[in-house]
Structure 1
């Protein structure tokens, strides 16, 4: 059974229930995520005992806002459309991810998932297949340099990827210019106070490898086929990681039925579990398997 057959097998009532969005569920999850960031931020800013040890958890909390931004591109975390837009834009700021641009980039990824030539996540290039390329990938350099290039090109109006609709070019140009202005102001602030370095810049740099490893499991070692239950991986993991990633470890389920909001993915998983083709028993298990495939 492929993902189309799976979704077709669900009753109309089940599909309606799975697609039900909720402001309450989204805001509750968001409030807890933001509260944890606020606690780390305050402790670092106040230089609480052992505060340097909080830089890593702060970074992980910040970089995993990517998964919420991703969810907002589907307009599913909240029932209210404006909430999805506002939150999507706001949580993209700490990770230098232009939200309007990312929406269409990500929709193209869903359309061409794991296609070596058409999936923009691959960009015609394979995932890391040797130790040097993996270490570069984990460093976050390809992400940060790629986003910097995207922001500059968008700001200049040089927007030419086929998956970016021309009607949105102006919005992307304005978005990029606003973000670059904001980052320039943040850079200037470092001449007066190192605070942003400790609560934002350093944390997102040291937290990025954790996000890269997580993202590698979503489609790494998955075959380039059309079946979303096979070209995407569901990773069985603990509540902490599912919380951080807004339930996106249920990734095959998400690709099979993107209209399902994060808080209903466990229910969709119960419907899909016996039909999943690609799974891993935890991220350490996947990582060990991936490492065995690398060349020197």
Structure 2
């Protein structure tokens, strides 16, 4: 069965249950995620003993706001529309990843998942050599891409095919507003001579980005270029801490098969369709060990 047949096979009652939205499951996660960022940021600003080590968990929490941004642009993190929108804006600001632009990008990714000609994610090639893997995991190309996207959009030069003509003014104004806000924050930090911006936000985000890259690479890395979402997307079985941090997105094949299912219903959907999943990995360490071994083998074969 492919993902369409899976969804069609569900009864109307099952579909209504699986796609029912609610504010309640997401609010504790939202408060704990943002609350921990604020607490760690305060401890870093106060320079408590061993404060530099706090930049590691701080960075991981900041970059994993990406998974919260992802859920809120799908409007599945919460039932309340304005709450999804407000949380998406705050997460996108922390990541320098404009929410409106990313919404267009991500919906094109869903529509054309693993289509080499149309999936915008594939414009950023997955690593095919150990060196490319190291560069990818560093996160540096991602930050460069975010800055470039903001600059190009702010100048009104967005030519991304997934952004419709009616969306050009939206992404332009969004980028300009974000850049203006960053400038104000930077000016205030310089005026008050405080390095809190650097140590509680920028450096932690740089430190944390490799953890997000390792996580995201498992979603579609080394998956076949086919239309079946049960085959072109990977579910990674992991612990509850990672699932909570990533808003249940390790259930990624399930999410692609039925994007209308909110994050808190994905475990139920997984239980229904796990026998039909084609790409399942038992943990991120095992995925990356296998990925690297395949890259090394391919490099040896190419050098012969």
TM-score, with structure 1 as normaliser: 0.97
After alignment, is 26-35 or 194-203 more displaced?
26-35
- Contact 1:137-1:212 within 8 A present in 2 as well: yes
Tell me, in whole angstroms, the C-alpha distance in 1 between the residues paired with 2:29 and 2:19: 18
- Contact 1:139-1:208 within 8 A present in 2 as well: yes
Aligned CA RMSD, in angstroms, stands at: 1.2
Superposed CA offset, 1:210-254 (max 9, x none): 000000000001001000011000000001100110000000000
After alignment, is 166-175 or 202-211 more displaced?
166-175
Residue in 1 that maps onto 2:243: 242
Task: Give 1:215-230 correspondences, 5 Å limit.
Answer: 215-230=216-231
Residue in 2 that maps onto 1:177: 176
Residue in 2 that maps onto 1:139: 138
Number of residues of Structure 1 aligned to a counterpart in Structure 2: 295
- Contact 1:190-1:197 within 8 A present in 2 as well: no
Tell me, in whole angstroms, the C-alpha distance in 2 between the residues paired with 1:37 and 1:159: 33
Tell me, in whole angstroms, the C-alpha distance in 2 between the residues paired with 1:16 and 1:135: 43
Tell me, in whole angstroms, the C-alpha distance in 1 between the residues paired with 2:254 and 2:130: 30
* Gapped regions of structure 1 (runs ≥ 5): none
* Gapped regions of structure 2 (runs ≥ 5): 300-304
Superposed CA offset, 1:236-292 (max 9, x none): 000110011000000000000000111111111111111100010000000001101
Tell me, in whole angstroms, the C-alpha distance in 1 between the residues paired with 2:149 and 2:42: 32
Residue in 1 that maps onto 2:302: none
Cα offset, 1:184, TM superposition: 2.4
Tell me, in whole angstroms, the C-alpha distance in 2 between the residues paired with 1:42 and 1:219: 36
Cα offset, 1:60, TM superposition: 0.2
After alignment, is 31-40 or 256-265 more displaced?
31-40
Residue in 2 that maps onto 1:276: 277
TM-score, with structure 2 as normaliser: 0.94
- Contact 1:254-1:265 within 8 A present in 2 as well: yes
